[in-house]
Amino acid sequence: MEYIIGAIVVVAVIIVLWWISTMNGLRRAKVKIEEASSGIDVALTKRYDVLTKMVDVAKSYATFEKQTILDAIKLRQGMSISEKNQAASAMGEVQKELNFLAENYPQLHSNENFRQLQVAIMDVEEHLQGARRAYNAGVSDLNQRIVSFPTSIVAGAAGIKKEDFFEAEEVKRSDVDVKISI
């Protein structure tokens, strides 16, 4: 009888340790997603700042509705991934307009500040792509854990839900002819 009780205790301890280990793994995956989301916030903020400067330079060459556009892409703390997608898309539209203006106003295109900002926006875009990849990798890892048995039992009991991926911007999905000479 003592062996049966001992075996039950050992099995119970193993199950509890497995449960704790699985919960910790899920929590680490959530933290990685939050960290990557923060990276997206940083990249979007940098993108917003560079686009704001580009708009200021462009405004001196053409009538440009700066405030309307910037209000459309205003960044807020605590944005959901869906809202971040919308902000990124709006910024992509602003960038497209700025490139169009640069083509139509040769003086703007030859402006040194504008050219430096074009280089800066390319750097920011690379940073944003890296942040998106890190976020989506974290989301993929968590979502795979959540749907895999037996981790799905722990995730369901803890109320951990699947996360949404950061989608590619519509502007980026379509063929856009952007000519930037540096």
CATH number at residue 45: 1.20.1440.20
Instruction: Note down the domain range covering 148.
Output: 2-171
**Res 8: pLDDT:** 94
The CA dihedral of 169, 175, 177, 178, to the nearest 10 degrees, is: 20
pLDDT of the chain, 182 residues: tens digit per residue: 888 999 999 999 999 999 999 999 999 999 999 888 888 888 888 888 887 777 777 666 655 555 555 555 565 556 777 777 777 777 777 777 777 776 776 676 666 777 777 788 888 888 888 888 899 999 999 999 999 888 888 899 889 888 888 876 554 444 444 443 33
Contact indicator for 169, 40 with CB cutoff of 8 Å: no
Contact indicator for 94, 55 with CB cutoff of 8 Å: yes
In a domain, 182, yes or no: no
In a domain, 120, yes or no: yes
In a domain, 148, yes or no: yes
In a domain, 115, yes or no: yes
**Res 66: pLDDT:** 55
Sign of CA dihedral 151, 153, 156, 157: negative
Exposed, middle or buried by CB within 10 Å (0-12, 13-18, 19+), for 93? middle
For the chain, the domain total comes to 1
